[in-house]
Structure 1
């Protein structure tokens, strides 16, 4: 696999420059080699300083985000679509300016619970917006990965199959899927089979437990997940994601339904996750070697 990473929301809600720099230091201290930040508004943060800090710690940066309703590129409202396209362009530039290597998340719609099915025109608007964003991302040297999430956070891409159809429609080789075990556990009949279906179109991978807490404390069968990642020869980043209202702000807690905290102390959570993922991948390699000899 590629680098093992951690979401900055394990460390901080990220309201200040100091918060983000602390998250970088904690990430490096725990031996993670990449960090995921939420969208960094250039007017609020010193991106150059953050980039230098990351380079000094040998930590790579990825950025994920969700669009607000007023900038929903899957809308039928031309003004909302145009505003969403502009936000995506700005996000690509911010990732480039911070020295980041990927932009992911819910880039194809608003991050919210919808009260209707997506329309055909809205789907087409979204495809067009992502195709345009892919061009600017490729020019900027930034990977573009679309997160397939559960029905309560978008109405557009809930399954890997839907994601594959969508990226094919963009006509771009630069768009890949961002899969997440938390969301797959809700939406996919067989998450491991979905990983194999996506194959080399998986561009980014989130490891998260069904209850958003400690890995192994929920219902995700990670053994099957790790086996599937080996089967597709996944060589890109794996990033641990977990949320607690003890750390993240009220807005994210509302958006992701963090109504109870499965943890409050970041350090033991991060240490446990790193060991869990490394052991899980090593056990999967041993199973593969044993099966090859049988």
Structure 2
């Protein structure tokens, strides 16, 4: 069985001590194995408390973030690149301090809509920066995941093939592809070929519906996606991600354009998602075994 995770924004919009306690206890109560914490605003997090709560509830941790336009390693401005590097170094350090082994997301550019295509120099800056971050992460036993996102959230990696090309350029064993069904639904031709293309270089998965709400309420062909995961014998984490204006982290919610309320009951949403994902993965594995 794959370990199943859930994004913290299903439960709370910040990581204050009170919210952190809620996030971790509710994640355990809903039956998940891992909680993914967004590091948009990590300075408010009590690392010691978070680490203790994770151990108390026997939960694993993954961390994620996207860069900002004033701290973007794909910029041509060295000062902007330097600020982006600082955010990535901080993310690796926090992940390791919490006992985590995965730090992913839009680590290669700002999270937002660009006004122009990536430049050759900007791409080169991103690759060189990630080479250095990968070295730091490897020393701390952290894997970096490059999340492939849609054209409105980055101008650099919008498809699995683009991410694989960047992995080749970075050339580090601890950098993997991170696929997300929400973004695949916008940019990829189907939910099968990108997964098969990635193969063993697929290191992390986000499960999100086309409308960001309840799984099965939108247009995504989850059966095809789960079948593809079974075909490559994917053993990694599968994390549920959903956003609503009911739970708001202002910086992240605005960047993701979460303008409407898709759900109110976090536990009902999460419990439904866990059952949906586990059922889909099991069905795909059984179908593979009986071929």
- Taking the aligned partners of 2:284 and 2:249, their CA distance within structure 1 comes to 36
* Contact 2:17/2:49 (<8 A) preserved: no
Structure 1 residue 41, shift from structure 2 partner: 5.2
Q: Give 1:155-166 correspondences, 5 Å limit.
A: 155-166=155-166
- Taking the aligned partners of 1:185 and 1:156, their CA distance within structure 2 comes to 17
What residue in structure 2 maps to residue 180 of structure 1? 180
**Alpha-carbon spacing, 1:180–1:42, altered in 2? closer, same or farther (3 Å):** closer
Deviations 1:69-108 (A, max 9, x none): 1110000001001111121111111111111121000000
Count matched residues.
291
* Contact 2:13/2:249 (<8 A) preserved: yes
Structure 1 residue 251, shift from structure 2 partner: 2.5
SS of alignment partner, residue 203 of structure 1: strand
**Alpha-carbon spacing, 1:219–1:146, altered in 2? closer, same or farther (3 Å):** same
Aligned: 1:49 with 2:49: yes
Aligned: 1:286 with 2:248: no
Deviations 1:147-171 (A, max 9, x none): 0000000000000000000111012
What residue in structure 1 maps to residue 171 of structure 2? 171
**Alpha-carbon spacing, 1:42–1:264, altered in 2? closer, same or farther (3 Å):** closer
Aligned: 1:75 with 2:75: yes
Structure 1 residue 141, shift from structure 2 partner: 1.0
Unpaired runs of at least 5, structure 2? none
What residue in structure 1 maps to residue 236 of structure 2? 236
Aligned: 1:263 with 2:258: no
Structure 1 residue 198, shift from structure 2 partner: 0.4
SS of alignment partner, residue 13 of structure 1: coil
**Alpha-carbon spacing, 1:113–1:40, altered in 2? closer, same or farther (3 Å):** closer
What residue in structure 2 maps to residue 202 of structure 1? 202
- Taking the aligned partners of 1:172 and 1:64, their CA distance within structure 2 comes to 19
Normalising by the residue count of structure 1, what TM-score does the alignment of the two structures yield? 0.96
What residue in structure 2 maps to residue 154 of structure 1? 154
Structure 1 residue 254, shift from structure 2 partner: 1.7
Runs (4 or more) in structure 1 with deviation over 3 Å come to: 40-43
- Taking the aligned partners of 1:43 and 1:279, their CA distance within structure 2 comes to 37
- Alpha-carbon RMSD across the aligned residues, in angstroms, is 1.1
* Contact 1:107/1:146 (<8 A) preserved: yes
What residue in structure 1 maps to residue 31 of structure 2? 31
What residue in structure 2 maps to residue 94 of structure 1? 94
Unpaired runs of at least 5, structure 1? none
- Taking the aligned partners of 1:218 and 1:87, their CA distance within structure 2 comes to 34
